[in-house]
Amino acid sequence: MKRQLILISGLFLCIACYAQKFQYGITSHIAINQPKKYRTHIGWAIGFIGEYNFNQNRIGNFYFTSKLKISEKGWKDDIYDIEEEKHTRTTHTYYLEIPISIGYKLIINTKSNIFFDFGPYLAYGLFGNYNIDYAELENDKKDLFTCGAYKRFDFGYQGNIGINITNFQIGIGAVQSIIKPTKDMWNLENPKEKSYLLNISYFFNR
């Protein structure tokens, strides 16, 4: 009986220690999408964040973090009608995105720290479309991923820096894709993603 109590107590202690190291919450960002040779588009994302903290010393600690989020990306460019008048084409694409990073936290005090992290991301295209600000030009309502304009998968790298204050995390970041996203009917386009982020997250169990 004593052995069972010791084992159960040890199990709960391990769970408690793990819970202290693993933190989770919700996350979002506003993005300035700025592909090379294309105009700026404001995107967004919302989802979940998880973070595992390794043993802390007097200066700080390493940590592993990942997110699962729905991300809206896009770009703008200029096109011309038959009278050579300029119009704006705006493209919207929506992804399920998973960034994975290793980072380090520098302790400020017991309730706050500065963090920076870096790592790859993988994204799967869900759906997308484009529109043109001119009624007589066709606005294609077809899904860009199913009609042969966009590749389903995107891959690249990203980095972030910011501050943790109690349950909140606020930071800025940059994202760079290494894959040309378009194909077939849009093969001449190359809006490879380059974005700057303003991130905010809230952790439930800090």
pLDDT for residue 10:
44
Given pLDDT bands bounded at 50, 70 and 90, which one contains residue 6?
very low
Task: Provide the sign of the torsion angle of the four alpha carbons 198, 75, 148, 128, taken in this order.
Answer: positive
pLDDT (tens digit per residue) in 116-164: 999 999 999 999 988 877 655 555 567 888 888 899 999 999 999 999 9
Answer for the pair 112, 159: CB distance below 8 angstroms, yes or no. no
**CATH number attached to the domain at 22-203:** 2.40.160.20
Tell me the average pLDDT across 24-38.
Answer: 92
Span 37-46, mean pLDDT?
A: 90
The confidence score (pLDDT) of residue 206 equals 82
- Residue 164: the pLDDT is 97
The pTM of this model reads 0.82
116 vs 8, residue with greater confidence: 116
Q: Which two structure tokens, joined as six digits, stand for 200?
A: 């905010």
> Is residue 83 pLDDT above 50, yes or no?
yes
> Mind listing the pLDDT tens digit for each residue in 166-187?
999 999 999 999 998 988 878 7
Using alpha carbons, select from 206, 202, 199, 193 the residue that is nearest to residue 95.
Answer: 193
More confident residue, 11 or 181: 181
pLDDT for residue 97 is more than 90: yes
31 pLDDT exceeds 90?
yes
* The predicted structure's pLDDT at residue 125: 95
In the chain, where the domains are located: 22-203
